[in-house]
Structure 1
């Protein structure tokens, strides 16, 4: 269900302020004393109000040394909490009312803190992360080389680039520079290891450059742009609702891991032109995923710290997308990126 239980610990001297805050975000809450002079409040909060409750708690009590609040998901509660216009709690005076689209999409979205918590662990460059990226790329590469689509999908389920990719989009949306830098570095290193794994695979195995699973990663068409935009939007939509990470990973990995692996394979096999084309597909997909991801986070009502900063970042990603699409159109018009031209170069290279 779309509700959370929020537990709050405060000294007794702060209770009056807390009891002034809670009715604006919750209709059910109760109090109990705990050892150490603390008071514990438990409140049931509809998910759409969790974000604003946590923000107000942080503003009011961040300076209180013993203040603690944490959020847990509820599986069921009786009597039921209905989400209708009649049960809607009034907004604080400093918040503007959400649009109809924002209201619809934000009903069951995780709060920003919950999203941070889901992403944080995947942003550290650990041996397990590097090994997972490498293995995922090898599995995807072997699937493409052998023409086995099911194997490529299996590599996507591993989803090693999910956290960093979501982290970049989330950081751009909320304007968190530290998160953005950490996510970008982790994503970059993961991409390097993915290409290196494909490079080793292309060098050590016999590669038929015309296998459809590989060849399809050397051509960029409008359908690929639409696919990457859909993957980014669907991935963020599922991720922000706490869906299975495997499901979200497939959505993101379909646009990122195979082109990276294919680029390394073609380079290791001695087809630099095809390798460059695969890397170009990856660049288009990465930009599309971020454009769609940021837009979907904003549609769901994720609150930016600065609309000017977030709008500027989104404009840069959109500009890069237009630039890459112009390059794609130019390559096809001049014959460098057409299907026949690529097949000719692969045949000659073989």
Structure 2
């Protein structure tokens, strides 16, 4: 249905202005008496309008100490909250009209605040995060070492590094440097843990570097870049619709942990050239996910704080992708890969 229930708590003297704001974003709302100094207004909002409602509420009442807003999903309503051409609510005059493509992409997108909440959960350096990265890398390393594809896929599904990667893409889109630094730091720590876990596998069990599952993590083809871009965009679409980060199956094809585990295994066995190839594959996947992620977030109407900053960050990621693609083209052209 794509609807959400928004509960707003404010002092009674603010309700005239509140009702004027809410009426610009939804057609169904009601007022309730609650204990305490605040009154409660509840409204059913089509999901595509939640972000703009929350933005205007913050602009209007952000300085009111007792303001409280709660957003929850609606499983069903009678009559239903229908999203079609007849139920479109015009944009408030102060907002830039969205393009048809933005309206189509953002109709099921979570609000910016909800996306922030989901990303924040995955950026905390908690023991559970480190243990998950460690176990994922061990599973991936042992699965690749024995050539068991199903085991490697299991490690991919755990996907502990997807949260920080989504956080980096979102931070670049909205121009939030603090969020970007947290996401980069969390990703860096997870990367080191994954590599060290792979090295542990390389030190403790016999390794055959010719096993296909291991060898494939050291090779990059042009099609892999296209695949990584497509899966990065699909991953952001799934994430922005509220899919759990651990269940974003579309990201399996560009998993970040297996290349890191392979890098650690080859470092432990002294195959530095193969370790470099695995690290290169990780960098390609990481850059592609961020390039596709920023572009997809923008298409969905995620509002940047500064278009200049967002464009600059996107240009840096695009330049890195161009550099990696150019080096890959040189490797293939001169036959260095063989």
Q: TM-score, normalised by structure 1?
A: 0.94
- Offset of 1:334 from its aligned partner? 2.8
CA contact (8 A) 1:255 1:286 kept: no
Aligned ranges for residues 56-135 of structure 1 at < 5 Å? 56-135=56-135
The answer to whether 1:54 aligns with 2:49 is no
Q: Does 1:232 align with 2:227?
A: no
Q: 4+ residue runs of structure 1 moved beyond 4 angstroms?
A: none
Contact 1:263 1:276 in 2 (8 A): yes
Matches within 5 A, 1:197-212: 197-212=197-212
| Residue 309 (structure 1) shift | 0.8
Does the 8 Å contact 1:161/1:253 carry over to 2?
no
Q: Which deviates further from its counterpart, 299-308 or 240-249?
A: 240-249
Partner of 2:309: 309
- Residue 9 of structure 2 corresponds to 9
Say if 1:31 and 1:42, in contact at 8 Å, map to a contact too. yes
Instruction: Tell me the equivalent position of 1:329.
Output: 329
For the residue of structure 1 that corresponds to 2:72, the secondary structure is strand
Q: Is contact 2:219-2:277 (8 Å) kept?
A: yes
Distance 1:206 1:33 in 2: 70
Q: Bigger shift: 200-209 or 284-293?
A: 200-209
Q: Could you give the per-residue CA deviations for residues 226-268 of structure 1, whole angstroms, max 9, x where no partner exists?
A: 1211221111000000124333166167431111111111111
Aligned partners of 2:196, 2:127: CA distance in 1, in Å? 16
SS in 2 for 1:242: coil
For the residue of structure 2 that corresponds to 1:40, the secondary structure is strand
What whole-Å deviation, never above 9, does each CA across 1:9-63 have from its counterpart, x for those lacking one? 0001111110110110010000011122211000000000000000000000010
User: CA–CA distance in 2 between the matches of 1:309 and 1:238?
Assistant: 25
Contact 1:5–1:72 under 8 Å retained in 2: yes
Q: Could you tell me whether the CA contact under 8 Å between 2:160 and 2:246 is conserved in 1?
A: no
Distance 1:165 1:245 in 2: 11
Is the 1:156–1:250 Cα contact (8 Å) retained in structure 2? no
Matches within 5 A, 1:165-314: 165-248=165-248, 251=251, 254-314=254-314
Tell me if the contact between 2:159 and 2:255 (Cα under 8 Å) persists in the aligned partners: no
- Can you list the C-alpha shifts for 1:174-231, whole angstroms capped at 9, x where unaligned? 1111111001000011001001100111121111111110111111111111121122
Question: What is the CA–CA distance in structure 2 between the aligned matches of 1:210 and 1:227, rounded to whole Å?
Answer: 24
Residue aligning to 1:345: none
**Residues 124 and 246 of structure 1, relative CA distance in 2, 3 Å threshold:** closer
Is the 8 Å Cα contact of residues 168 and 183 (structure 1) preserved in structure 2? yes
Contact 1:231–1:289 (CA under 8 A) maintained in structure 2:
yes
C-alpha RMSD of the superposition:
1.2
CA contact (8 A) 1:256 1:285 kept: yes
Counterpart in the other structure of 1:25 = 25
Any idea what the Cα deviations from partners look like across 1:259-308, whole Å, max 9, x if unmatched? 11111111111211000011011111100000001111111111111111
Q: TM-score, normalising length from structure 2?
A: 0.97
Q: Secondary structure at the match of 1:96?
A: coil
Structure 2 contact 25–49 (Cα < 8 Å) conserved: yes
The answer (yes or no) to whether the contact 1:263–1:275 under 8 Å persists in 2 is yes
Q: Which residue of 1 aligns with 2:42?
A: 42
Q: Which runs of 5+ in 1 are unaligned?
A: 342-350
SS at match of 1:270: coil
Tell me if the contact between 1:235 and 1:252 (Cα under 8 Å) persists in the aligned partners: no
Q: Does the residue aligned with 1:286 lie in a helix, a strand or coil?
A: helix
In 2, Cα distance between equivalents of 1:106 and 1:121: 23
Instruction: Quote the offset at 1:332 in angstroms.
Output: 2.2
